[in-house]
Structure 1
Amino acid sequence: MRRSRALGGRGARSGGTGEWGPDRPLYLWLLLATLPLNVLSGTGSDALGLPLSPDRLTLAAALVLLALDPWAWRRTPLGVRGVHVAMAAVVALAAWSALVSGTLLTTAGLFSLADRLVVPFLLLTVAPVVFCTPERRDLLLQTLTLLGLYLGVTAVLEQVAPALVVPSFVVDLSLGINQGRSRGPFLASEALGLTLVVCGFAAVLLAVRRRGAWRAVAAATAALAAVGVLLTLTRSIWLGAVIGVVVACLQQRRLRRLLPVLLAGAAALVLAVLVAVPALQAAVTERAGTTRSLDDRRNVNEAALRVVERHPLTGVGWGRFIEESEEYVRQADTYPVTNVRLEVHNVPLGRAAELGLPGAVLWLVAVALGPGRATVGRVRTRGPEDEDLDGWRLVLTGGAATWAVTIMLSPVPYPLPNYLVFLLAGVVLAPALVRRRAPRAAEVEA
């Protein structure tokens, strides 16, 4: 029992329909489907000739069905908390900024507003309702594990057998960015790495909590996720993943004792992969010594600081930095200017440059009260049905720590990594966001 509770288990094997009964509404399945379908968002949908990414439809349908289900809200009545106020204020300010600056009705402006603010905040809000039982959270855990398995296999095949990659557009070098690295269907190595980290942590939790076939699948996913993170050849992901493992392990005494073993095992795995694939070793060495991306990052970040100095209250407007950046870029004495049409490579600074300091502060408050509180705060429980939330906090901590490192070094415009961090935060914070204790199954049947 001690082992199970320390890692977020319930003290017994979970997830069987015989234990929990048929409590699986359609909106749950649609929201679960949204996560793997989102890997096709953007360039992937265009490559497949789809007029709209399918995840947009499943997410919209899930939210509509959930809104129309009065029992769901009676069962898990949410209160208005500080995080909701902060999130609503950020969205309102960003929408007003987009309207005034003329980007609200543009494709780029509208979708960036949805993917970076609106949808992540909505997912944090509805997560306590959608994933209100251990069985539903088990389904989420299994979904993330299977997604990680697919992405991990794809990351490996991109390097050793590109002809076997499905869908084939993943290895089309005329599409996307980060050619030569493992990119997955995102066509961006950073998005692949961030998602693999979350899925890898979810797989570890599933391996601890389940036996049989699911344990084998989860173990394979965890190993492939670690290899896939290496194959992204993205330094921010490497750094973030290591910090994520360390921070997650420091949360619990038993895991703190295992930390040296885990780090040694990860190092051995990386070394084995590099020895087995000499070409990868050369690529890793070359990537580690690349400086051009660092120069570009410094140039746009310095430009963003000049924007904040000139427009501290309003910024240049939501989605306007790329168009305005050339006016604020200056040639430095020690490094070149190679590209000025880039987003700010620091999310808090980017919020300040486009929304002004008030917008940046509100966004930071929302993050602190959402993922931040869920990561560092003590997990509250309403009863035995919430005993598994300790394990979910470990998954969130690993993913959120990696995400936190990455947003300080990149604009992180990819929908799924942002979705996952806020969705998991809503799962962990559920007891604190619900107004009163939800009725037990026996009480409902009575």
Structure 2
Amino acid sequence: MTTGVVSGDRSEVEEAAVRQGLPLYVWAFTLLVPLSMFTGQAGALGVPLPLDRLVLATGIGLLILTPAAWSRLRLRPVHVVMGVAVAGIALSAAATGVLLDQVALFALLDRVLVPFLLFALAPVVWSTPRRRALLVKVVVVTGLYLGTTALLEMVAPQLVWPAYIVDPEVGIQYGRARGPFVASEAAGLVLGMAGAVSALGVARLHGTWRSLAGLSVLLCTIGTALTLTRSIWLGTVLGLLAVCVLERRLRLPALVLTVSTALVGVVVVASVPTLQESFTDRATTSRSLFDRANTNAAGLRVVEDRPLTGLGWTRFAAGEGMDYIRQADDYPLTNVRIEIHNVPLSRAAETGLPVALAYVVAVLLSLVTPLLRHYDGEQHGWRLVAVASVLMWLTAAMLSPVPYPTANYLVWLLAGVAAAPVLTRDGGDPWAAVRPLSPPTPAR
């Protein structure tokens, strides 16, 4: 029986996994990615409760009941630092009395706790080639949906599903490709990451799935451009450059993809007169830059005033940050009740420098950990995906608050899969063809 991916000889554990089928917790965690795209819009879909929360709780519960899986996890410094960051933020929320407040609680879950948890659990949830093939296929389908939706939003909005996506009264940034998130940056981040996973699918999958993965790469790339969001454009370019530096064989395909996307983009822009104006407006607009400068300057004043404790978790945008906002001499003040547009600075202003430091170290370790061991074959591909995705996320995090559940879930999930050899004990699904970071010195 084939797994849908190219791999070396199967271990006994993998053979057993093929015979037994995929555990339910694998399906639950994998479906979390597409279902989380609609979080916050359950009412518009006629669903009584957010399905992503349900499958997440189900997956965690089922995994707890499978000690043979999670007992393979190895405690690493990155886990400890993540735990310190989560505990520090929770204490900040408790100290200011908002721990059980809906906005503060979901901010803690969606931005910190669940992403870090997915990083820790990913190595055992997607511990075999067959499970990772399922993950790739689900993300490919997600990329096809998001890329198609982005294109339809611009050329045939009447065909978009769900209809709330093209409702100007729902969400923010109407007029850009924003998908079911109804936020262009969220759509761009997930499109970029889905494109990276789909590129891996082109290399690892076969038959129809390989063709679908290639189409997903193209649609995701076009979709990121149609978000009309500069942080997405910059992050996608940086992620692509990083992949080209790490793997020279991908430089020509990357060039072909870029040229193809540019050609398709020219055709689309020429076909939709208003789209050219939208691109020009986004490339030259300054208001978002002014908002970012104002909130970031206010964040620095908070850190100077309260370096150890900050204002408290989520308290800046709740209104307490208004006391620190000033009218600049050389640019206007256009909005005062928005979040700080820099994630590290936001953590420092709201929870204090010690907790912010733990958070930043945890983020950096999640980028470094997949690079600690170099294996040929499948794991190398996942390393490239993780590096590109983390760089996309980091770029956005330096320019916005990044409150989006799906993007936060997916980036740490991918980093955790790529770091599996470092984060798990021997056994399960060893990556094929071990190659050390430094070649051994030839014997004399």
* TM-score under structure 2 length normalisation: 0.90
Stretch of structure 1 that moved more, 326-335 or 258-267: 258-267
Alignment of 1:84-233 (within 5 A): 84-233=79-228
Instruction: Give the direction of change, closer, same or farther, for the CA distance of 1:264–1:227 in structure 2 (3 Å limit).
Output: closer
* Number of residue pairs matched by the alignment: 422
Task: Give 1:259 deviation, angstroms.
Answer: 4.7
Name the counterpart of 1:344. Answer: 340
Name the counterpart of 2:439. Answer: none
Please say if residues 380 and 432 of structure 1, whose CA atoms lie closer than 8 Å, have aligned partners that are also in contact. Answer: no
Name the counterpart of 2:62. Answer: 65
Stretch of structure 1 that moved more, 262-271 or 16-25: 16-25
Please say if residues 155 and 272 of structure 2, whose CA atoms lie closer than 8 Å, have aligned partners that are also in contact. Answer: no
Please say if residues 380 and 431 of structure 1, whose CA atoms lie closer than 8 Å, have aligned partners that are also in contact. Answer: no
Question: 1:9, 1:256 → 2: CA distance?
Answer: 22
Instruction: Give the direction of change, closer, same or farther, for the CA distance of 1:162–1:80 in structure 2 (3 Å limit).
Output: same
Question: 1:54, 1:259 → 2: CA distance?
Answer: 36
Give the secondary structure class of the aligned counterpart of 1:225. helix
Task: Give 1:396 deviation, angstroms.
Answer: 1.5
Residue among 257, 280, 284 paired with 1:285: 280
State the Cα deviation string for residues 287-313 of structure 1 (Å, max 9, x = none).
111111110110000000000000001
Residue among 265, 270, 275 paired with 2:265: 270
Task: Give 1:395 deviation, angstroms.
Answer: 1.4
**CA-atom RMSD in angstroms:** 2.2
Question: 1:48, 1:95 → 2: CA distance?
Answer: 32
Please say if residues 233 and 284 of structure 1, whose CA atoms lie closer than 8 Å, have aligned partners that are also in contact. Answer: yes
Question: 1:312, 1:433 → 2: CA distance?
Answer: 34
Name the counterpart of 1:354. Answer: 350
Pair 1:36-2:34 in alignment: yes
Residue 221 of structure 1 aligns to which amino acid in structure 2? Answer: S
Task: Give 1:422 deviation, angstroms.
Answer: 0.6
Name the counterpart of 1:326. Answer: 322
Question: 1:286, 1:380 → 2: CA distance?
Answer: 44
Name the counterpart of 1:26. Answer: 24
Instruction: Give the direction of change, closer, same or farther, for the CA distance of 1:196–1:318 in structure 2 (3 Å limit).
Output: same
Question: 2:16, 2:219 → 1: CA distance?
Answer: 32
Task: Give 1:10 deviation, angstroms.
Answer: 3.1
Name the counterpart of 1:444. Answer: none
Stretch of structure 1 that moved more, 216-225 or 113-122: 216-225
Residue among 421, 426, 436 paired with 2:426: 436
Question: 1:379, 1:416 → 2: CA distance?
Answer: 27
Name the counterpart of 2:7. Answer: 10
Residue 373 of structure 2 aligns to which amino acid in structure 1? Answer: V
Instruction: Give the direction of change, closer, same or farther, for the CA distance of 1:250–1:273 in structure 2 (3 Å limit).
Output: farther
Task: Give 1:325 deviation, angstroms.
Answer: 1.3
Instruction: Give the direction of change, closer, same or farther, for the CA distance of 1:265–1:9 in structure 2 (3 Å limit).
Output: farther
Name the counterpart of 1:237. Answer: 232
* TM-score under structure 1 length normalisation: 0.90
Name the counterpart of 1:3. Answer: none
Pair 1:395-2:385 in alignment: yes
Alignment of 1:242-321 (within 5 A): 242-256=237-251, 259-321=254-316
| Unaligned residue ranges in structure 2 (runs of 5+) | 431-444
Please say if residues 303 and 349 of structure 2, whose CA atoms lie closer than 8 Å, have aligned partners that are also in contact. Answer: yes
Name the counterpart of 2:373. Answer: 379
Question: 2:172, 2:387 → 1: CA distance?
Answer: 28
Please say if residues 299 and 349 of structure 2, whose CA atoms lie closer than 8 Å, have aligned partners that are also in contact. Answer: yes
Task: Give 1:402 deviation, angstroms.
Answer: 1.1
Question: 1:286, 1:9 → 2: CA distance?
Answer: 45
Question: 1:119, 1:361 → 2: CA distance?
Answer: 19
Name the counterpart of 1:335. Answer: 331
State the Cα deviation string for residues 233-286 of structure 1 (Å, max 9, x = none).
111101111111111111113224555444444433433332333321111011
